[in-house]
Amino acid sequence: MSENLLSLLNESQKDAAQHIDGPLLILAGAGSGKTKTITTRLAYLISIGIDPRSILTLTFTNKAASEMRERAFNMLDSSMINTPPLLCTFHKFGLLFLKFYMNKLNRKNNFIIIDTDDKKRILKSLEKEIPTALLVSEISKYKNSLLTPSEAKKGAQLKLYQQITEIYEQYEEYLEKNNLVDFDDLLLLPYKILKSDEILTKEISQKYQYIMVDEYQDTNELQYRLLRLLSSSHNNLCVVGDDDQSIYGWRGATIKNILNFSEHFQNTKVVKLEENYRSTDTILNHANQLIEHNRDRLGKKLMGTRMKGDSIRVYESHDENEETRKIVQDIKELINSGINPKNIAILFRVNALSRSLEEGFNKAGLHYKLVGGMKFYERSEIKDLIAYFRILTNSNDNFSVKRIINKPKRGIGKTTIDKLEAKSIQTGKSIFDLIQNLGSDEITAIVGKKNSRTLKVFEASILDLKELLVESKMKFLDNFEETFDYRASYDNLPDGFERQANIDEFYGYIRDYFIQNPHLDLKDFLNEIALDSENDDYSGDAVSMMSIHASKGLEFKKLFIIGFEEGFFPITGDGSDLEEERRLGYVAITRAMDNLTLSFVHSRFYKGKRTTLTKSRFLSESGLIKGSLTIQKQSGFKKGDLVQHKIFGMGRVLKATNAGKDYKLTINFGGTHRDILSSFVEKA
């Protein structure tokens, strides 16, 4: 029986599946049969007589758990699995554990698990000013880093984070008092119990003699510590993962768990799965070249088992509209040639780039679905901006007024809005007309003195912008953000970068619209985007559009990846991790099976304005184009040259000095002198 199980595996896969005792790291490259190997190992252990009850397999998703369970059980005679092994997510295991051992923390076993919405409500009741999304994110980080409120307090330096740690303490007290458990507690509390009870730790560890973990590169500090305790009596821990696909650092995953596995667990056996069954040799060759530029990796090289394949196409376009036209044309031809749309996908690093694609697909009548994301005009920050613009064209629009009257936060709560709406219905006037026509005393009588002042400032801002709009559409756009600071309201939020990128895309698009259509006004623009976004959802086969993060684990016969420009992919600055960005590039490329097209443009909307961009370093690092970031040879810059920088704009070179492999240029940007490396500018 056990031999039959192994017959469909290659030599490396067999080696991993047959390993029984001691720590095992299965380093599984993209498309190398990772799930097949780990499920076969599970079935193999059972087939040689190991009690299924002593095997614990942990995954990150219920989908992965059920897939593995089904595949493993199909390999076995049902008589072998009277009592099935425990195969579940980390959090499900934590829940099962707490049901038995919550009393160890002097808490009752009838605890209630709260979801994210409950968590937000509790935090909102404790703190009104700090954005709830930021509180949720930071408290989760504290818990997954094993920091108690008092430890978090000690480490907090900025005033904002000192306040957050105070809220963290109050939040924890609230949970304990009401016997509530949040999602992070499902791992943290079992760890605390096991850490403080050696006898119980030994008992649980001996109960689960064989532990397997899927996607180990995505584990955080807390999950690693928990696994150490669970395997402490035997060290029979098998983990499968790929250090080159560690792309969740932003949500707490730490790549050092997989990089240091052999140090954490003595006498580790390492098996590398390097045979790829998904992509052509050409695709793998370029993926390998790219990832080899990373330093923090264990090192492996994917080898193809298929044909060489077509060369990878690199599209160079003037702007996102030309880029979209080329891709739409290609996809039309693919579909006409008989390719099913579900086998085609477009990936992007930044979700904002979906706007031009959505627009192009709608105009061409092509069906698409946004996987793991919302359509551009359905994103809440875009809806807010549209609501603002609607009020500027129609002050009677109560729906839009209610949406944005407290965005960004002005202290106008639901009670105030309800009072205004009731008065609006009573008088037959719109909410904005009420604010505009009633005197301060009259508004004060309805909503109170503080709110009255706030509403009058809001009214004045809208009226000023209306005047500007008549005078100059560009002036209006320049002053809009200045007036409301809407973009800045996302500065400290966990998803702030993506939301601000969407806002920038929207600002840039409307600027371009008015430049190209000077005879049209704001109402025309709103009507046009209303038509654009009115594309009914399609339930049949459609082309997939998604972020690279959303594509992990998927594969497509025909793949397009757009946005290969510095600042968009890789994202640079703002604390970005270049190695993680490169791993994202590796993940993206290895989603392609047969054909791959990469695309870069010379101009896109950046920070709300059309900006000249530099092609991504990843194109040269993957061996697809010659050269690198350097547009001009370093030695080619001299005093007096006019140069372009993507952030600082146009400037003139004052001097050039040698700086190792590069040249340092002193550049005058409109009176401000800056020292910039020559590889970050191009001649104007």
Can you read off the two tokens belonging to residue 354? 């979906």
Distances (CA, A) of 456 to 223, 418, 432, 520, 607: 52, 17, 10, 30, 30
Helix (H) or strand (E) holding 315: strand 313-319
Which residue among the candidates 201, 219, 245, 500 is catalytic per the annotation?
A: 245
Dihedral, 278, 282, 285, 289 alpha carbons, nearest 10: -120
Cβ neighbours for 505, distance < 8 A, ≥ 6 positions apart: 352, 353, 355, 376, 605
Neighbours of 409 (CB within 10 A): 11
The β-bridge relationship of strands 275-276 and 303-304 is parallel
In a 13 Å sphere around the CA of 409, the CA atoms on its Cβ side amount to 9
Neighbours of 161 (CB within 10 A): 16
CB 247 within 8 A of CB 587: yes
Which residue among the candidates 14, 34, 355, 604 is catalytic per the annotation?
A: 34
- Based on the residue annotation, tell me whether 118 is a catalytic residue of this protein: no
Which residue among the candidates 15, 138, 185, 215 is catalytic per the annotation?
A: 215
Can you read off the two tokens belonging to residue 174? 């609230």
Which residue among the candidates 41, 69, 403, 591 is catalytic per the annotation?
A: 591
Phi, psi of 585, deg, nearest 5: -60, -40
Can you read off the two tokens belonging to residue 134? 């930021």
Query: For residues 319 and 356, what is the distance between their CA atoms, to the nearest angstrom?
Result: 10
- Based on the residue annotation, tell me whether 35 is a catalytic residue of this protein: yes
Query: For residues 264 and 256, what is the distance between their CA atoms, to the nearest angstrom?
Result: 10
Phi, psi of 285, deg, nearest 5: -55, -45
How many residues are given for the chain? Answer: 684
Distances (CA, A) of 231 to 164, 198, 213, 264, 345: 35, 13, 12, 12, 41
Distances (CA, A) of 641 to 120, 426, 585, 650, 673: 54, 67, 34, 11, 14
Query: For residues 397 and 353, what is the distance between their CA atoms, to the nearest angstrom?
Result: 30
Helix (H, G, I), strand (E, B) or coil at 197: coil
Dihedral, 403, 409, 414, 418 alpha carbons, nearest 10: -60
Dihedral, 57, 60, 61, 64 alpha carbons, nearest 10: -50
CB 508 within 8 A of CB 481: no
Query: For residues 63 and 652, what is the distance between their CA atoms, to the nearest angstrom?
Result: 57
- Based on the residue annotation, tell me whether 591 is a catalytic residue of this protein: yes
Which residue among the candidates 138, 182, 214, 581 is catalytic per the annotation?
A: 214
- Based on the residue annotation, tell me whether 71 is a catalytic residue of this protein: no
The β-bridge relationship of strands 313-319 and 592-606 is parallel
Helix (H, G, I), strand (E, B) or coil at 29: coil
Residues that are catalytic: 34-35, 214-215, 245, 591
